[in-house]
Structure 1
């Protein structure tokens, strides 16, 4: 039941993107298991149409895709580095094809909303949604910047990058001086 609810949005996106279904059709009959601890695993089977369905109970996995906790929000935000952190086991070509399709699927919310509320209102709602996302992103960035400044200036909990680099240079110089001193002591001891 839960799998069917989770799969419906993906199939909706696939129906709107014929290129994605065509890319998945050669994988028909293959099953991929998605692991996102602590959530239950989600096993999907690719259908001949290129859409996906819940895997039948007991179906062996052709590929297992594991997402570490905290990776899903980065993937939803289209963070390119996050895709490199996905762990794959089994048929890697199949899993990478699914990831590639998922990475390039885009939801045209405005198009879907226009069916329900008309073109003009859908356009305005989509713009408001984008503005809200940008506002949240800017707010989070500003909050992080403020916290960083507070922790480096007001309540020094973190070191400033320049001070950290200076400290590292000083430690390196001290190590070099200690190595030179050890060589001189060894040379004097040898005499």
Structure 2
């Protein structure tokens, strides 16, 4: 059941990006298994059309992708560094093809909306959504900076970075002095013996 829920949106994206289907066509018949322990274990087979279908239970895994659950939000946010943290085993050429397509596959929301509500309204809805996201991230950034400033300046519960650097430098200087003192004490002890 999970496979059918997952495959429909993936195939929708692939239908919108003909380049991705063309790149998957030479991989027809190969199976990729995606594991997100303990939540997901999904095997998909590439069809001759370049689209995906649920893999049969007897199909061998050509490539296995294991992801930590914390990677999913980063992958959805198009964080390319997250792709390096996916553990891959099996056919490396097939796996690299899947990962490269995953990095470059984008959902054209505006095109899908335009079919339902028209081009102009779809364009405005998407631009409004983008503006809302920029406002949202800007607001979060401003609130976090204000909170950090409050906790370091007004109600000092956190140390300011310059104070921390000064403390670290003082600790390092003290460590060097203790090392020198230890050397001197050993030298004096050796003289007395």
CA–CA separation in structure 2 for the residues paired with 1:139 and 1:66: 34
Q: Which runs of 5+ in 2 are unaligned?
A: none
Partner of 2:78: 78
1:103 counterpart residue number: 103
Does structure 1 retain, via aligned residues, the 8 Å contact 2:152–2:160?
A: yes
Once the two structures are superposed, what CA deviation does each residue of 1:74-111 show, in whole Å capped at 9, x if it has no partner?
Answer: 11112232222222222233222211101101111111
TM-score, normalised to structure 1's length? 0.90
Residue 135 of structure 1 pairs with residue 135 of structure 2: yes
Q: Which moved more, 1:28-37 or 1:3-12?
A: 28-37
Deviation at 1:159, TM superposition (A): 2.6
CA RMSD of aligned residues (A): 1.7
User: Any residues of structure 2 matched to 1:53-72 within 5 Å, and which?
Assistant: 53-72=53-72
Unaligned runs of 5+ in 1: none
Stretch deviating more after TM superposition (150-159 or 172-181): 150-159
CA displacement, residues 48-72 of structure 1 (integer Å, 9 cap, x when unaligned): 2111111112322222212212211
Q: How many residues align?
A: 191
Bigger shift: residues 146-155 or 102-111: 146-155
Structure 2 match to 1:29: 29
Distance 1:83 1:143 in 2: 30
Q: CA deviation at 1:151?
A: 3.0
Larger Rg: 2
8 Å Cα contact 2:80/2:103 also seen in 1: no
SS in 1 for 2:64: strand
Distance 1:126 1:84, change over 3 A: same
Deviation at 1:153, TM superposition (A): 2.8
The 5-angstrom pairing of residues 1-191 of structure 1 reads 1-191=1-191
Say if 1:121 and 1:141 are closer, same or farther in 2 by CA, change over 3 A: same
Q: SS in structure 1 opposite 2:40?
A: coil
Q: 1:138 to 1:98 in 2, by over 3 A?
A: same
